[in-house]
Amino acid sequence: MPTPLTDLLSPIRRRKPRIGLVAGGLGTYWPQFPNLLPQLQASASYVSERFSQMDAEVIDVGFISDAQEGAAAAEKLRQVDCDLIVLFLTTYLTSSMVLPIAQRAHAPVLVIDLQPTEKMDHANFDTGAWLAYCGQCPVPELGNVFRRAGIPFRSVSGFLTQESAWQRISRWINAAHVRAALRHARHGLMGHLYPGMLDVSTDLTLLPSTFGSHVEVLEFDDLRVRTNAVSEREVAARVALAREIFAVDESVDEDDFAWGARVSVALDQLVEDFELDTLAYYHRGLEGELHERLGAGMILGASLLTAQGVPTTGEFELRTTVAQLVTQVVGAGGSFCEIQALNFEDSVVEMGHDGPAHLAVSSRDPLLRGLGVYHGKRGWGVSVEFDVRHGPVTLLGLGQNSDGSLSFITSEGQVVPGPLLEIGNTTSRVDFGRDPGEWVDEWSATGVGHHWSLSLGHRADDYAAAAGLLDVEYRHV
């Protein structure tokens, strides 16, 4: 049985999202209905426990009963720098109790109202018992006040153990993962723009101003120096690792394989030294000089880094590495791709790319194939070939609008079996349930650009939620 990829390549660990949690109800009720507060606090404890089981750092600031306690909770949450604040409405409370939290904590807010069970026991309920089911009562009030205050409003209504409601809540936790990753990301940009690709060009201030990310501008000499320092022992170890992960085609030249392994070791060092979360690169080069060889030798190491959770992508595609980071942190992988051809007989769009691939989304052992030339690029060496796992997939691209702002753009389809090119590309056949030509026209009209991330599962709702938390435009085809 083959060794799992996660045992061969240690996933990169990132800062978990910080979720601020506060529950509340109107304190006027407590002396009127002595049994109410203990019931609501038990519900709050259940919610807190559910959140503690999520892959996040949860800061529970407790239960508030009036506006003063709400203001105190807001100050605590402001100090811990949350990625998302969850406000649990256990019964009616006034908007004055929670507006300071939304205003002062400087984080997006999710309102949840989860009544104890599916329905009330009408024949046996008194006013106190009913109030435990009244968490929905203030939701329209908060929606109104948030809108008047210019605060985005989002909510999940349901009952305490309703799994469909918790699935909707988990969508916002996934969005918080994205917000946390992008707020603290360090994006490497090495080399120069692929000549003529105007869509790829990205203002380096755009990511810091939109997300809070950092863009580290690198030289290919940063990689060259580290490549020269790689030992023969390290090269041999990397070749051995690659043979465990990849099927190696007979077309692979051993010298090219060793060079790709050497560059791979150096790439790992580069990522570590600059603490990178992503890396986009391109260098044209000339007549086989060293920088050209470095650019051509990137694919093995870039694919290994991408599999570990550090998207490493060619053609200077900074925005697409951001899209890959988004799909990565929600657990959907994300391989670099573009449109390759249309099959009107089978109604599929064939898409993929030469170069770096996300090995974790492969439907089979990824193949290393030797190439005498990279199409449209200088250099030669080894490339990765596979088909993305069959089943539901979601595309995520980052578009840029005429005013310079970013947008998240998605489309959902199915990867289906069928004939594929064997040219060292990550090619997949994606069925969008419609005429492929019409899909291309609508997809292109969104302003998505040349490349995007191909991720596993139908995750458009997750990416839409992330766009909402990040305050960027969202479009779906």
469, 176 Cβ separation under 8 angstroms: yes
Residue whose entry in the numeric block shows the structure tokens 């200077």: 316
**10 in any annotated domain:** no
16, 180 Cβ separation under 8 angstroms: yes
Name 265's Cβ contacts closer than 8 Å, sequence gap at least 6. Answer: 230, 234, 235, 238, 301
Q: How far is CA 328 from CA 13, 137, 336, 397, in A?
A: 12, 38, 12, 13
Burial of residue 162 (CB within 10 Å: 0-12, 13-18, 19+) is middle
Asked if 173 and 239 sit in the same domain, the reply is no
d(CA 127, CA 61): 28
Q: What is the CATH number of the domain that holds 345?
A: 3.20.14
Asked if 169 and 194 sit in the same domain, the reply is no
d(CA 476, CA 457): 15
Label residue 423 left, alpha or beta by phi (over 0 means left) and psi (-120 to 50 means alpha). Answer: alpha
d(CA 50, CA 431): 37
pLDDT in tens, the chain (477 residues): 456 666 777 888 888 899 999 999 999 999 999 999 999 999 999 999 999 888 899 999 999 999 999 999 999 999 999 999 999 999 999 999 999 999 998 999 999 999 999 999 999 999 999 999 999 999 999 999 999 999 999 999 999 999 999 999 999 999 999 999 999 999 999 999 888 888 888 888 999 999 999 999 999 999 999 999 999 999 999 999 999 988 888 888 898 899 999 999 999 999 999 999 999 999 888 877 888 889 888 989 999 999 999 999 988 999 999 999 999 999 999 989 999 999 999 999 999 887 677 777 776 778 888 876 555 554 567 877 777 889 999 999 999 999 999 999 999 999 999 988 776 677 889 999 999 999 999 999 999 999 999 999 999 999 999 999 999 999 999
Q: What is the CATH number of the domain that holds 55?
A: 3.40.50.10940
**6 in any annotated domain:** no
Asked if 202 and 128 sit in the same domain, the reply is no
Q: Which domain holds residue 119?
A: 18-182
